[in-house]
Amino acid sequence: MKTDSSGRRAGARTDSSGRRAGARAGSSERRAASAARRRVVVLAAFVLLLLAALVASVCVGARAIAPADVWRALVGADGGEAYLIVHDVRGPRTLLGVCVGAALGVAGMLVQTLTRNPLAEPGLLGVTSGAGFAINVGGLLGLAGGQAGQLALASLGAALTAVLVYALGSAEPLRLVLTGVALSAVLSGISLGLRLTLPDVFDRYRFWSIGSLAGHEQAPLALPATTIVLALAGAVLVTRPLNALVLGDDAARSLGGNVVRTRVAVLVLVTLLAGAATAVAGPIAFLGLMVPHLARRPAGGSVPWLMAYTMVLGPVLLLASDVTARVLLPTGEVPVAVVTAFAGAPALIWAVRRRGRVAA
């Protein structure tokens, strides 16, 4: 299939056959219907993938559990080993993965759509490292005690970094990435210095320098999960105005949208999503970059569909990375951020090369 290479903006690329359809106006309605059906089919496929990822995430690990045993552990309360593992370790961890994956994927998609920058992503822009750094510093000042405190600190750090990076690098997409990387490097250097100075204080906070889902199975999920779910609901509400904003500020205004309000709402949502995800799992980069890029082609320029696909694909990718992280080492496991970086960096290269071809 030959795709429309000049379609730079997603909206222009709804369907490569769109031009031909214009010639035969009678069939356009049928085509729209078939496009809608295709989108539903794709969504169903993604949901199936999510189910597979959920099963794998509960079954695979240091002690493999057969899916049948998982089912038995879920429905009955026999109190056996499989029951304990499923209920106390892998179940909460899988839920955590679903929340964090959806949050990071949607945050990445919102930033990319808002800035019209295919390279933007909270991890790459340093927003998640800013959140992790804020928790580290809060720990030094004795503020990061409760979960609410951590969440507030992470959101504050995310907001400050987002504003700083955007102020410095908004002129050009590639520059934005570079600014984010530089800022992450500075913050990680300072964190490492602090940690070496006060090893006993910072041993607890080491976790927030590299993202991982391990070791937080016992932490109560209610507060961060509620925040993420509320922010995701907000993101769903903001899709319509955002869909108009994709066409450009003027078009959005003439369609009756409040551009400034939409922008602010999106930024607040991104901050909340990235902050909450970092507060529970540490900084995880590249996930928010990969997911929207995978979802963009099937969504075909529609922001609501892109949002739906992102919400499903984000957990799929994070859970798959987490399962990989568990089996990569003969003993113990790799932090999941290592896996997402290894899998996601090619997505960055691909995006950069693609932009190169379009611009040339």
Q: Which of 82, 104, 107, 177 lies at the binding interface for another protein (CB under 8 A)?
A: 177
183 binds another protein (CB under 8 A): yes
Shortest Cβ distance from residue 219 to another protein (Å)?
23
Contact flag: residue 329 with another protein (CB under 8 A): yes
What residues from 30 to 49 belong to the interface with another protein (CB under 8 A)?
A: none
Q: Which of 143, 181, 223, 247 binds another protein (CB under 8 A)?
A: 181
Q: What character string, x for contact with another protein (CB under 8 A) and - otherwise, covers 253-292?
A: --------------------------------xx------
Say whether residue 178 binds another protein (CB under 8 A): yes
Radius of gyration of the chain (CA): 21
What are the tokens at 37? 């059906």
Shortest CB 265 distance to another protein, Å: 25
Nearer to another protein, 211 or 257 (CB): 211
Site for another protein contains 332 (CB under 8 A): yes
CA distance 217 to 210: 17
Q: Is 328 in the site for another protein (CB under 8 A)?
A: yes
Among 43, 156, 168, 236, binds another protein (CB under 8 A): 168
Binding residues for another protein, total number by CB under 8 A? 47
What whole-number distance in Å separates Cα of residue 7 and Cα of residue 23?
Answer: 19
Identity of the residue, 119 or 291, whose beta carbon is nearer to another protein in the bound complex: 119
* Residue 108 CB, nearest approach to another protein (Å): 15
Check binding of 59 to another protein (CB under 8 A).
no
182 part of the interface to another protein, by CB under 8 A? yes
Is residue 341 close enough to count as binding another protein by CB under 8 A?
yes
> Helix/strand/coil (H, E, C) string of the chain?
CCCCCCCCCHHHHCCCCHHHHHHCHHHHHHHHHHHHHHHHHHHHHHHHHHHHHHHHHHHCCCCCCCHHHHHHHHHCCCCCHHHHHHHHHHHHHHHHHHHHHHHHHHHHHHHHHHHCCCCCCCCCCCHHHHHHHHHHHHHHCCCCCCHHHHHHHHHHHHHHHHHHHHHHHCCCHHHHHHHHHHHHHHHHHHHHHHHHHCHHHHHHHHHHHCCCCCCCCCCCCHHHHHHHHHHHHHHHHHHHHHHHHCCCHHHHHHCCCCHHHHHHHHHHHHHHHHHHHHHHHCCCCCHHHHHHHHHHHHHCCCHHHHHHHHHHHHHHHHHHHHHHHHHCCCCCCCCHHHHHHHHHHHHHHHHHHHHHHHHC
Q: Does 200 bind another protein (CB under 8 A)?
A: no
Contact status, residue 291 vs residue 109, Cβ threshold 8 Å: yes
d(CA 161, CA 103): 18
Q: Is 215 a residue that touches another protein (CB under 8 A)?
A: no
Comparing CB distances to another protein, the nearer of 148 and 190 is: 190
Q: In terms of CB distance, is 91 or 288 closer to another protein?
A: 288
**Considering the complex, what minimum distance in angstroms separates the CB of residue 136 from another protein?**
14
Q: Does 5 bind another protein (CB under 8 A)?
A: no
Task: Candidates 148, 190, 233, 327: give the one binding another protein (CB under 8 A).
Answer: 190
- Of 49, 192, 223, 236, which lies in the binding site for another protein, with binding defined by CB under 8 A? 192
Q: Does 170 bind another protein (CB under 8 A)?
A: yes
32-36 own/partner pairs: CB under 8 Å, 24+ apart: 35/300
Residues 92-131 that bind another protein (CB under 8 A): 119
Amino acid at 232: L
Interface residues toward another protein, by CB under 8 A: 119, 168-172, 174-175, 177-179, 181-183, 185-186, 188-190, 192-193, 196-197, 210, 285-286, 328-330, 332, 334-335, 338-339, 341-342, 344-346, 348-349, 352-353, 355-357, 360
